Structure 1
Amino acid sequence: MEIQWPLILFVAFCAASAGTFASQAILALKKEGAAIQLPALITSVAFLAIGGVAVLFHLAQPLHIFNGFGNPTSGITQELIAIVVLAIVMVIYFVMIRQNDGQVPVWVAVLAIVVSLVLDVVCAHSYMMASIPAWDSALQMLSVIGGSCVMGPAVVAALCALRGEPVQLAGLLALVGAAVGLVTTVAYVIDMSTVSGSLVAMGTTYIDPTNPTAPMFSTDSVAISSPEVMPAVVVSVVSSVVALVGAILGKVQGNWKVWGIVAAIAGLVAACALRVAFYGLGATVYSFYGITG
């Protein structure tokens, strides 16, 4: 399947936005990070805006995106609803920050965490379909959440260091988040490695009496070891390791100004690379029924 960079960037930056928003809300629950609440919120909004702009480039006519909103069960409609709800919560969060000198009520912080998680789940669930085995996996959903766990806490830890706020909690979140990101990335890579076998099990030749052994397609093209997929897999895993190493060094050295940014960038690269592999393995079982569109 052709790599869809606008959609890759949309999912990656939505995950970064959700992770940042949820991380600052966790600090708010502990009555920490008052000085970074507004900068973190602005950063989260910026990530969401970048993702929103990126997805428009998926369409030849950006305004055609509204054509997909007529069906409430469609993935694009559900993503829009989740984004609008998140935006509303962000506005409420902003108002509370301004009224309470960087502090927010517990219920607002909890709502921010929940809605951030919902956005990740909705963005990932939009791609889960039985017709594409590599996508129809709960581990695919967890990999998006894992991306949030890497990027968000790392961004918040860097902001804490830059603003002179206590960074212990944010640093711990970044370290744990980087570990979660690595585990979810590796788990999804292992899951994707089984796709070729599942397609072989269904059969790979047309039932055509004049040419009974003609292949529908080569399963080698949807193997994780294929030249189109393996580089992306390697980059995703290596970048996840770099993010974890960066978080460890940030925790040991206390220099989150540098290592927080390193971990966040590595997390973004890992998330994008994993989605490149995701598209590279996006063979559809509709080929087995002679349906290609």
Structure 2
Amino acid sequence: MWGSERVAALDWGSFYLREDMHVLLVNDTWSLCPQPVGHHIVRNKWVYKIKQKPDGSVDWSKALFDLGFTGSHVDYSLFTLHRDKLHIFILVYVDDIIVTGNDDSTIFSIISQLKFEFVIKDWCGLSYFLGIEAARDDTGLHLCQSKYIADLLDCANMVGARSYKVPCISYSKMSKFDGDLLNDPSEYRHIVEALQYVTITCPDIAYSVNQLCQHMQAPTSTHWTSAKRVLRYLKHNTDFGLHYKPSIIALHAFCVSDWASNPDDSRSSSGYGIFIGQCLVSWSSKKQLVVSRSSNEAEYRSLALTTAEVYWVRMLL
């Protein structure tokens, strides 16, 4: 970056650096202290980020202070199921906050208190949160990750790729010996990690993503082809997601197992889906920890895993 572009970037960065430093000082975020004897300092840097809206337009710019360079699913259903019985719920993820409930005056009071204590921005209605798009209409609340998926396709250079109608081939079993080892597995790992986040609103790819995750250590060309197939499937269903609508609070659970599905260690896979009324609120697809010696044993292990999750959801309710 040279000439006017470099000067513009420096001016933009210094402006937001001063603004964010002012906020940190006003809020007494940190206090200076001497370095402890025998301990190393954790390095840090400023990261300048442009946050976009779901349509791709610039929402706001921000300077982020990154310490150390280190690298569940958001449950919106309760707000939709029974608004007349809902109390105040506050969801916090780092510095992103959702305040929701059935009493507008209480919500306004909480937000006012937060504004009094901290420098915050109130975006009013919920529309975009951590890459998840939320749209409400008369039928309920719709959650999807259209923009996140579009950005993921662009990152993988698959915007113009042909779309598929299914995420994987039926009865296919991926082995660690299939294909040739990738020279640089970093792209595979980056894409699969991003696909894990997509399962927040796309449980239909959970099984395929779980299979891909089992080969993160030494991915091959065959595994990479399977990962791209999931991306092609998402391209076909970019706007698909979860729909939460008012419903009776009744707990339903379904589970399944795939006996000896792993060709390398003969372990089975378990899967479950838990519904409150007609709304899917929890799901999983994972490999069992031990080898099941029969299909019945695999089913019972899957049932035990589902029962534990149902118990947790019941205690939460």
Name the structure where helix makes up a greater proportion of residues. Answer: 1
Higher RCO structure, 1 or 2 (CA under 8 Å, sep 6+): 1
The TM-score with structure 2 as length reference comes to: 0.25
Please identify which structure carries the higher strand content. 2
- TM-score when normalising by structure 1: 0.26
